[in-house]
Chains A and B, each alone.
Chain A
Amino acid sequence: MRSVSYVQRVSLDFTGTIFPHAICLGDADNDSLTCVGVGDVCNKGRNFVVAVGAEGWFHLFDISASAAKADSSSQQDGSIGDEQKPSFTQHIPANTKVMLISDIDGDGRCELVVGYTDRVVRAFRWEEPSDASDLSSGQLVLLKKWLLEGQVDSLSVNPSPEGLPELMVSQPGCGYAILMCSWTQEGAAGPGDEKTATPSREGPSRDVVLHLTTGRIHNKNVSTHLIGSIRRGTEKACGLFALCTLDGTLKLMDSSEKLLWSVQVDHQLFALQKLDVTGDGREEVVACAWDGQTYIIDHARMVVRFQFDENVNAFCAGQYACKDGKNSPCLVYVSFNHKIYVYWRVELERMEPTNLLSVLEERPEYPDLLHRLGVGDQTPATCTVVNEKPA
């Protein structure tokens, strides 16, 4: 497989330690230039930064509002980089581990899904009175709680074969579970009815659909990560999802459970992301191992490797703007010595090595031009003659 060496990077310093899931890329200040952020949890049409602590404190940051305020009050630019005050804080159940902001039930509005270290997954929705002017009058309301059999390492949303979004959760042993959003089926189920005995007892068996992706499981407890909604271009709406395990298994499947490919590597993969590095509209799977070895794999199982030189604490991939004022695919590594490295030129022209003749043969005008110049029935030798550049 092919290895590349990325050079252009920016390093940022930070203090403290970062938890593996505590980094992500998104358009936080809604200026269409991305910086670290999360999603439109309040369904206001713009993104907010959400931070959830292990004790259960949910903080909401509205960066675009504070940016606008800073401009108008003629403060220095440095104030945006200073301590951000949360616009809203609420206490939700503690021991949070992973988080997802997305529309999981197909109603067009985003929900907040939180995974906990005690194998519980809870879904919340932001509710506020319709005449609310700011964020302080709203709150997060619990929609549903699911109890799973294994540790939840990843949450993701993937479109089902019918096109509706499905909430998927990774399970140890390279498995995954689809969590049903029962509040849409029941219709009248209120947000506070988790204490009702009957639904919660039936919850695990009816609302959690467990899938095991391999019949021969080497290690049933190996931690597994999942990422869904991997775009496969503009042809199908059906998305792909990928799984990776700590013992080096990587799989790409579609929502009808068809396995597209499976790769076994000898590194411990702990982070899974998706990123379009070739610019063709199809997203590639990016998996990172603890020792910095990064795999970029496309839908046709072409692998490109990149070795990051240090051990990686957290990893993220997405669109970020470092230079030129526009987004470009980036890889973000957080090392164990208080540095964040953003690699901002990770685009590849193509995934597999090729040569000029193959590229030319794909162009429709090439055979016609050669024919008109009298070079017909190209033997490879003639092609080389024609293509030879003046030395």
Chain B
Amino acid sequence: MLPDIKSMCPFVEDSFSRFPSQSNIYGLCQAGEQEFLAATLKGKVVCFRYQDQQKKIRPLAREIQFTYIPVDAEIVSIDAFNKSAPKRGMVVGITFIKDSGDKATPFLNIYCDYEPGSEFNLESIAQSCLNLELQFTPFQLYHTEVHCGDGSSETVFLLSGHDQRIHLYIENASLHQFEEQPVERLFPELQELPSNVLWLNVLSIDQNRRLTAFGCQNGSVGLSLVNQKGPEILQNWRLQHDSPISTVLLFPLKHIRNHAPPTDSSERETFNLLVTSAIEMAVVYRDVEQYGLSRQLCLAESDQCDAVLCALVVDLDFDGQHELLLGTYGQDLLCYKFHQPTGAIEDKLQLLWRRSFKSPLLSLIYLDLDGDGLRELAVLTLKGLHILQHSLKTTADLVLHRLSTLVSRLPISSKDQSIKNQDGEEGYISIINEQSTAET
């Protein structure tokens, strides 16, 4: 018997698209500023965005024909990224298994267009393909930005396989194509893996370091702190859970000490690791930089809805603090919030709301689809894709309330002061931040 949930889900469903065949947990990725790609089992890839037609907005799902994907192929995973500066262009990677008689052959197709002018055009990108045959069954296709030895940045593909290894695909600039390279050259922490990696997550932090986390099929979780210069492993942690890990997610949290005035020095940013698994409760490991995997915080009732398959850490109620979203096979979307009771040292996570769906949830993405600055939540379920929008009435009320609070704080002389686009943005947002924390 679940206790009363205090809050209501702030999302309203805007649209639902049925898919002809099902997708999986690796089948959703962001491609571009305001669109995303969803891949289904039977080889179809759908691009979803909102189209602006004569001041009316329409959700639009169009199928993109990616070349060199055979008719009988089953798509396993999809990922897309924009190349790091100064390079330009979008790269899409699709792994699939081609069923040719008695042998199933896995492939990785990398799509990238080098023609100036069409580097970001999905239709032309879908035409230029690099076809790589794989010697292992692919799992998650992931991308991350890595600092190379010579000071430049490069975005690379990391593909986990059933051979208990992670494979690195990097662009060879002179040949204008992607190729596989040994992973230990750029990611020494991914060399010795205990089992097949089901989920990988990398977060860049300050001082040219990064945190790498992975979750395996046998339940082990690995976390490494790496200095990108070298690269050199600074610290390594391993932990064993009791069931396969479905997602790992690294996220920052700001801690404001209550008794100190809100200056920058008293705001400490800590990095935390969310680990979700098939059977157990989801847990958050607090402040991994300092404590590694020793400070565990459980998300109560997260094991009541069958396996947790996807997770997202975003600020949903615009108060400056992140909430945790968990999507489960039991057709529920759970939202957790950090509770920092005053005076107590430990904080805890509380279930804020839950929303039911008609079919199991596979993947979550939070991005701005309709170009209004407010992000929508795209939920990929077994039956199709749901686009959830924040309730526009309450959000419009909130915006007007914050604007009028800002206006009331204006000194009379500076009413004509214009806000600069770039520099003023952070100042503006920090005013909203500071004011919202003062409100709570």
Q: Are A and B subunits of one complex?
A: yes
A residues with CB within 8 A of B: 2-5, 7-8, 307, 348-350, 352-360, 363, 365-366, 369-370, 372-376, 380-391
Q: Which residues of B contact A363 (CB under 8 A)?
A: 396, 400
Q: Of residues B59, B374, B384, B410, which shows the largest number of chain A Cβ atoms within 10 Å of its Cβ?
A: B374
Asked whether A356 and B56 contact (CB < 8 A) given A372-B415, A373-B407, the answer is no
Tell me whether A365 and B400 are in contact (CB under 8 A). Answer: yes
Asked whether A374 and B400 contact (CB < 8 A) given A2-B15, A5-B358, the answer is no
A71 and B407 CA atoms in complex are apart in Å by 59
Asked whether A387 and B58 contact (CB < 8 A) given A353-B14, A374-B416, the answer is no
A36 and B365 CA atoms in complex are apart in Å by 42
Interface residue ranges of B153-179 to A (CB < 8 Å) = none
Q: Which residues of A contact B65 (CB under 8 A)?
A: none
Tell me whether A360 and B399 are in contact (CB under 8 A). Answer: yes
A380 and B371 CA atoms in complex are apart in Å by 9
Q: Which residues of B contact A373 (CB under 8 A)?
A: 403, 406-407, 410, 419
Tell me whether A352 and B56 are in contact (CB under 8 A). Answer: yes
Interface residue ranges of B381-423 to A (CB < 8 Å) = 384, 386, 389-393, 395-396, 399-400, 403-404, 406-407, 410, 415-419, 421
Asked whether A355 and B315 contact (CB < 8 A) given A349-B12, A373-B419, the answer is no
Tell me whether B429 and A7 are in contact (CB under 8 A). Answer: no
Tell me whether B374 and A389 are in contact (CB under 8 A). Answer: yes
Q: Which residues of A contact B372 (CB under 8 A)?
A: 355-358, 383-384, 387
Work out how many contacts link A and B, with CB atoms closer than 8 A: 130
- Decide yes or no whether B180 CB sits under 8 A from chain A: no
B374 closest partner in A (C-beta): A356
In the assembled complex, the CB of B328 is this many whole angstroms from the nearest CB of chain A, namely 14
- Decide yes or no whether B238 CB sits under 8 A from chain A: no
Q: Which residues of A contact B417 (CB under 8 A)?
A: 374
Tell me whether A4 and B56 are in contact (CB under 8 A). Answer: no
Interface residue from A2, A352, A380, A391 paired with B315 (Cβ < 8 Å):
A391
The 17 listed contacts between A and B (C-beta, < 8 Å) are A5-B384, A352-B56, A353-B50, A353-B58, A354-B392, A355-B370, A355-B371, A358-B57, A359-B395, A365-B404, A369-B407, A385-B373, A386-B419, A388-B425, A388-B429, A389-B318, A390-B436
Q: Which residues of B contact A374 (CB under 8 A)?
A: 415-419
A306 closest partner in B (C-beta): B16
Asked whether A359 and B392 contact (CB < 8 A) given A373-B419, A385-B428, the answer is yes
Q: Which residues of A contact B55 (CB under 8 A)?
A: 358
What is the predominant secondary structure among interface residues of chain B facing chain A?
A: mixed
- Decide yes or no whether B320 CB sits under 8 A from chain A: yes
- Decide yes or no whether B257 CB sits under 8 A from chain A: no
Given A349-B393, A357-B373, A375-B419, 9 more pairs with CB closer than 8 A: A2-B59, A3-B17, A4-B15, A4-B16, A5-B13, A369-B403, A380-B371, A384-B371, A386-B403
Interface residue from B373, B404, B407 paired with A383 (Cβ < 8 Å):
B373
Q: Which residues of A contact B18 (CB under 8 A)?
A: 3, 307
- Decide yes or no whether B432 CB sits under 8 A from chain A: yes
Q: Which residues of B contact A307 (CB under 8 A)?
A: 18
In the assembled complex, the CB of B412 is this many whole angstroms from the nearest CB of chain A, namely 11
Asked whether A390 and B315 contact (CB < 8 A) given A5-B16, A355-B374, A356-B372, the answer is yes
A360 and B392 CA atoms in complex are apart in Å by 9
In the assembled complex, the CB of B95 is this many whole angstroms from the nearest CB of chain A, namely 29
Tell me whether B17 and A389 are in contact (CB under 8 A). Answer: no
Asked whether A356 and B392 contact (CB < 8 A) given A372-B407, A382-B421, A385-B425, the answer is yes
- Decide yes or no whether B356 CB sits under 8 A from chain A: yes
